Structure 1
Amino acid sequence: MDTRLEYLTRLRVGQRKAGPAPNKPCLLLAVICEIQSGHFSSPRVAINKRLLARYHDLYEAATGNRQAANPRLPLWHLRNDRGPAGPLWSPDYAPELAPHADQLGQPKSLDNLLARFASACLDAQLFAALQDSDIARQACALLTHHYLSDDPPALKRLTEYLERALASGEYEKAPESLAGTLQESSQQYARSAAFRSLVLEAYDYRCAASRLRYITPDYRYLVEAAHLIPFSVSQDDRPVNGLALTPNLHWAMDTHLIAPGPDHRWHVSQAVDTLVPDNDWLCQLDGQPLVLPRNPRWQPTPEALAWRMDHLQR
C-alpha cells in the first residue's frame, strides 16, 4: 500500500450504533471519485453541486438514509485531520474572514459554511497519489473497509457504487470515447452514468425546453439526460448528443411530439391538437428558443438536431 494512504486510516470520526460515523469517509470517497472523473485537476477542491451530490450518493449507499446526510459536518471537521504533508483539508476562507476563522466557531448550516469558504485544499501529497487510478482504488477500498464495513449489505452497495463511479469517471475524462459500439455489457452502465453526469452539468441542471430547474436539499435533480439521436440508433453517448429535459418533455421528445431544430428553436408536431386545452403545455413551446450550454463544447450537433426534426410527427 502507498504510504501516503496510511493517513486515511487515522481520521477522527465519531461513532454510531453500526460503527464509525460515515461523514468523513463518504466525503473523501466523493473527492476521490471527482479526482478520477477529471473534475479536480489540482489539490483545490471546489465545494460544488457535483461534489455535494456525490457525497449524498455515497452516504445513501453506506447508510440507506440519504436525507440524514449532512455535508457541513465533514466539510468543517476534516480540517482537524492530518495528511502526509500537513493538514489533510485546508479551507480557503474568504479574505475578510481568514484572520478570524478560528474564532468563528462551527457553522450552523451548509449555507453558513459556504459563506466562509467554497473550496478547500486537499493535502498535496495525498492529491498526487490519488491521481493514479490504481492508488485511488486502493484508497476507496481502504476507506470502505476501515470505516464502513460493519453492515455487509451496505458495504456491497458501496463497493458496487464506487466501481461504477470510477469506471464512469474514465469516460468523463475522455468524452470522445462515449461514441462507438459497446464491447461489453459492463460498459453500458458506466457510459450511461457518464452521459447523464456530463449532460446535466453542461445544462446546469436546467431543462433545455421549459427552463425549469429544481434541486432538492438532498441533491436530486428534476431534469434527466435525454439522447437526441437514440442510443439504439447512434451508439453515441457523447454529451453533444444530449439535452437536459424534465421527464414529461423527455417523453414528448421521444414520442416525436416535439423536436429541437438546427435553428435552435423548439418545434411542436402538427399531430398535437392546439384546440385541446390539455395540450397547452406542449403548444406553448412552439418557437421557443432551445436553452444551450454556456460552453460551446457541449452544445448539440446540427446533425443530432436535424435527426430530431426529421422524425417529428407530421
Structure 2
Amino acid sequence: MDWLERSATLRQWSRGGTRAPHKPLLFLYALGRFQENADGELRYGAVEEDLARLLAEYGPPNRTSPAYPFHHLVSDGVWEVRTERGPGSPGSGVRELRETGAAGRLAPDLRAALRREPALLGRIARVLLDLHFPPSLHGDLCEAVGLELEEPETGRRPEVRRQRSRRMRDLVLTAYEYRCAFCGYDGRIGTVPVGLEAAHVRWWAFGGPDDVDNGLCLCSLHHKLFDKGVLGVGDGHRILVSQRFIGHSTAAHEHVTALAGRPLVGPQPGTRPVAAAHRAWHTSQVFHGAPRPATAP
C-alpha cells in the first residue's frame, strides 16, 4: 500500500481554495504521539483541548470542532476509532465522542508499516506539511504536535510533485528592493541580505503561483506573523493588523499594532503589486478576525 499517496489524497471539504486542514492536523498530531508511544491511543476527552488549540492556531479563521476530523479521518484508511462498545466511531458530535469514551489511533496496517520502516513517518509528515502549510510554519507546527523530523534524505524522489520556483525569491526581493514590505527592514552582511524572505500571499500549498504579484518581501518576523494571520494586506495595499493580536510592550506596538493602515513599502515602479485575488484569498483563509483601525500618524 502506498501510504504516501494515501496521505497526500486525504478527502477534504473544498471549494474555491478554502482551507480545511482539520484532517492533516489530526494526522500530524497522531504521528507525533505514535513517535512518543507506538502502542498508545488518543482518548478524545484527553486530547480534545490539544486538538482545539491546533485548529485555532493553524486552522482556518472560522472556528471548528476537533470532533469533525476525529470522526471523519476514519474514512481515509489511516485512522481508527473505538468506543467502550467496540470498534467504530459513534459520530462527529462532541457529546457522542465524550460520552462513549471514544479513542483513536493510526490504522493497524499503517502502524505496522511505520514499525517496519521508521523513516516512513518523517516522509508522511513532510507530505502533509508541504501540501497544507507554508514552510515558515513547519518548524512551529512540528513542535506543537511533538514531531521530531530528521533532515530529508538526498537523492530521494520528491514526495510532492509540484515544485517551488527557485527564482521566485530573487524576483520578489528585487521587486521590493530588498526591503520588508511591512517595516522597511533591509539588513545585510556585506552584500548579502539577512532576515529577508519571499512570502507567498496565496499559499503555494493552495495553488498560489510563484509570481511576483503573489509575493511579498518580508523580514522573518513579519513573514511569520503574515502566515499566522496576524497581518494581512487590504484594499489600497494597506497593512491589516488583526484585532485578535494582543501585545502591550513597546516592541509589540512598534513592530505590529502600529502598522495598521500603513501602505506597503514597495514594490518598485513598473512591478506588479499583489493581485487582488491573492489578497482576498489570504484575508478570507488566513487572516484572523477583523482588522484594527488605522493607527493615527
TM superposition score normalised by structure 1:
0.39
